[in-house]
Homo-oligomer: A and B are copies of this chain.
């Protein structure tokens, strides 16, 4: 366990900013992505090519991609729900497309306006159209650990969707706990099954901390052999069904836990903390991350006077 490294993919610019009510200027988004790449991320989910009407906060995806500084060794990812989005993403020069479909029929209809089967049929067309293009393809199983409308989803349906992705030639797979319903025992069970199909270096776990269990789920996934995790600076993000609840697991909290456990991430934690402390200025409100407030465990305090 000690020798393996953890790969953290930063998703704040996409999964974090997409839910912010106040507009974040394109220049500020670019500065955030560039600052993040400077802390050492090998993967950043930068934006998404979805309908600007559905997600107005990310309507400047192409502009952001055109002006970020491409750090050698960093893969710049965009979320894409359908063939039209894939076309725009390719034109914007993304390194990787992250397709997404929910395992829950109801959630996919609410989110994408079509059945999961229709979403995945679109992925097949995308795979045809990107053949030979300098882009890699990841696909996410959303609501893999539960749907806020339907409740728990059978593991077998998650596995079937992973197998369908692989049969299309998709190389990377993400299991997403879209609204923070996962628990450690379920995570251990499902990750163990999926790792029989997808090698650890191509499986990503995407947890939300909606119910406070995000890092416990990371621990369970890590123990089951997972090595790649999505996280958002400051714990940005959120859930439209849980006002006031926290969003994605927090990058700097995750990195602090990993480093304290002796697991390397290749990331500059003090730089991440400094960036996170600047987020309230950017988004106009406090953010849920804890390490940015408390400091690292090794950041000691002066002894009180008189002690």
Contact = CB atoms under 8 A, between A and B. Distances in A.
A59 interface: no
Interface stretch (A47-55, A76-84, A155-163, A206-214): A206-214
A284 interface: no
Interface stretch (A14-22, A93-101, A235-243): A235-243
Interface in A158-208: 180-181, 183-186
Nearest to A148: B301
Contacts of A212: 209, 214-215, 235, 250, 253, 256-257, 289-291
A246 interface: yes
A304 B150 contact: no
Given A149-B303, A220-B219, A211 B261 contact: no
A211 B304 contact: no
The number of times this chain is found in the oligomer is: 2
Contact of A297 (B181, B246, B295, B304): B181
A149 B300 contact: yes
Contact of A184 (B106, B149, B219): B219
Contacts of A256: 211-213
Contact of A291 (B211, B298, B300, B301): B211
For this complex, into which size category does the number of interface residues on chain A fall?
Answer: 35 or more
Contacts of A295: 242
A171 B109 CA distance: 57
Given A211-B291, A219-B184, A219-B220, A304 B253 contact: no
Given A106-B307, A239-B294, A303-B110, A216 B149 contact: no
Nearest to A244: B293
User: Which of A220, A245, A250, A290 has the largest count of B CB atoms less than 10 A from its CB?
Assistant: A290
B183 A260 contact: yes
B257 A290 contact: no
A116 interface: no
A185 B300 contact: no
Interface of A: 106, 109-110, 113, 146, 148-151, 180-181, 183-186, 209-216, 218-220, 235, 239, 241-246, 250, 253, 256-257, 260-262, 286, 289-291, 293-298, 300-304, 307
